């Protein structure tokens, strides 16, 4: 590390680090020599990237295949209205270069998959997982385990967040638990809504992402005690925190290869039959309206979502669907919709299994697809 040198400008920039006795120039050298991959540049990725860049991490990779959407701006503080429609990875790097020109950025404007994960992660020392879906979360974990990389994990939902450091090898050579030791298998599809379905308080990712960045810096520099073998929980509403112990599960099979994580999480392939429901497209729904067909439209979102944008359907929130089954017709076609099609498919499964309905159709893509293909005035939702 002594071979890593700093310019006068860098020494001035990082002076508040250098005067910390436990950190000093050695800690800054370790930051400059480190390579960190941030998976996702959204709600969590934004503060992680901002603070790692400001701190002086030498090389930062960003993997994100998404584009900036107006709904992102409530929490993804890396972006502005001028970035809407542009690739997140590109917009993020443009912003971060202005924050610290001494950092090297590597853009991966692609989806992380089982085919490319090992190749991409192998180029970095540490992974910061800011993903919002289970298939990618398990993929990041398994690739990190195979490659023996620390995985600094965080997740958020509504008012709650959690942070941990998985697959961390301490100074004695002992490797701590990984994500599968905490969550051996994913929850059933649709049980845990995404942030798009369930919402998130805009400031929460800033809090949790900052804690995640803090753990990355601790792992790089060796200061303090990383959240190895511990899961930190934060509730923004009550301002209560808890730290839980996480232990390695001796019965967990060794991770030796990557798998199809969509199938593993019940989102495709062989498990797809379990979530299969009849569908209609938004164009087919529009044709039903134009022909004056006798059908019923059910909206299973929450009341506040209905107020933002609706298709004039009967509002029955998913959680109340079984209590209001008498409002659902059984003698004609019924189209059920939500925001993107996940909750409505779950509602149909419940109604078919518990009440024997055979006339229910899920609106493919939900109101989002309707806004994009039929009525652009709904697009802001």
**What is the reported pLDDT for 364?**
94
Question: Tokens 């652009």 label which residue?
Answer: 376
Quick one: angle between helices 204-221 and 24-33, nearest 10?
100
**What is the reported pLDDT for 271?**
36
How many other C-beta atoms are found inside a 10 Å radius of the C-beta of residue 306?
16
Tokens of 67: 């584009």
The mean-pLDDT minimum among 185-189, 293-297, 349-353 falls in 185-189
Top-tier CATH class for 277-378: alpha beta
Percent of the chain at pLDDT > 70 equals 94
Tokens of 141: 């974990």
379 pLDDT above the threshold of 70: no
**What is the reported pLDDT for 192?**
65
Tokens of 215: 């753990």
377 pLDDT above the threshold of 90: no
Question: Of the residues 126, 139, 195, 227, which is catalytic?
Answer: 195
Question: Of the residues 338, 345, 351, 360, which is catalytic?
Answer: 338
**What is the reported pLDDT for 3?**
87
HSE, CB side, 13 Å, CA atoms: give it for residue 114.
12
Cα–Cα distances in Å, from 117 out to 48, 128, 139, 261?
Answer: 20, 14, 8, 12
CATH topology of domain 34-271: Rossmann fold (3.40.50)
Cα torsion 6, 10, 12, 17: sign: negative
pTM of the model: 0.76
- Domain residue limits, the chain: 34-271, 277-378
**What is the reported pLDDT for 272?**
37
What are the two backbone dihedrals, phi and then psi, of residue 363, each rounded to the nearest 5 degrees?
-80, 110
- Say if residues 32 and 6 touch (Cβ distance below 8 Å): yes
Q: Please tell me which residue, 269 or 65, carries the higher pLDDT value.
A: 65
Examine the residue annotation and report whether 265 is marked as an active-site residue of this protein.
no
pLDDT tens column, 60-73: 999 999 999 998 99
């Amino acid at each position: 590390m002594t071979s890593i040198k700093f310019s006068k400008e860098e020494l001035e920039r990082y002076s508040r680090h250098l005067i910390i006795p436990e950190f000093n120039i050695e800690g800054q050298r370790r930051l400059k020599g480190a390579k960190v991959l941030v998976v996702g540049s959204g709600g969590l990725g934004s503060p992680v990237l901002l603070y790692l860049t400001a701190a002086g991490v030498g090389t930062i990779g960003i993997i994100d295949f998404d584009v900036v959407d107006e709904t992102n701006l409530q929490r993804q503080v890396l972006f502005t209205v001028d970035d809407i429609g542009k690739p997140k990875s590109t917009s993020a790097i443009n912003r971060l270069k202005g924050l610290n020109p001494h950092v090297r950025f590597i853009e991966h404007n692609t989806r992380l998959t089982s085919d490319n994960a090992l190749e991409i992660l192998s180029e970095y020392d540490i992974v910061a997982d800011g993903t919002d879906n289970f298939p990618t979360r398990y993929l990041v974990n398994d690739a990190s385990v195979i490659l023996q990389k620390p995985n600094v994990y965080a997740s958020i939902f509504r008012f709650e967040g959690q942070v941990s450091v998985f697959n961390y090898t301490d100074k004695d050579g002992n490797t701590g638990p990984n994500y599968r030791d905490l969550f051996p298998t994913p929850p059933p599809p649709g049980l845990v809504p995404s942030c798009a379905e369930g919402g998130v308080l805009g400031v929460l990712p800033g809090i949790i992402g900052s804690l995640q960045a803090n753990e990355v810096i601790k792992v790089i520099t060796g200061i303090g005690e990383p959240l190895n073998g511990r899961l930190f929980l934060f509730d923004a509403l009550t301002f209560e925190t808890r730290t839980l112990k996480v232990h390695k599960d001796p019965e967990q099979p060794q991770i030796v290869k990557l798998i199809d994580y969509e199938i593993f999480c019940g989102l495709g392939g062989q498990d797809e039959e379990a979530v299969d429901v009849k569908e209609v497209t938004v164009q087919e729904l529009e044709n039903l309206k134009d022909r004056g067909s006798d059908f019923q439209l059910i909206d299973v979102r929450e009341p506040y979502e209905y107020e933002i944008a609706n298709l004039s359907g009967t509002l029955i929130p998913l959680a109340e669907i079984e209590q209001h089954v008498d409002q659902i017709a059984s003698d004609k076609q019924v189209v059920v919709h939500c925001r993107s099609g996940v909750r409505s498919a779950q509602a149909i499964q419940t109604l078919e299994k518990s009440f024997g309905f055979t006339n229910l159709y899920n609106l493919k893509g939900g109101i989002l697809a309707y806004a994009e293909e039929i009525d652009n005035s709904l697009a802001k939702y």
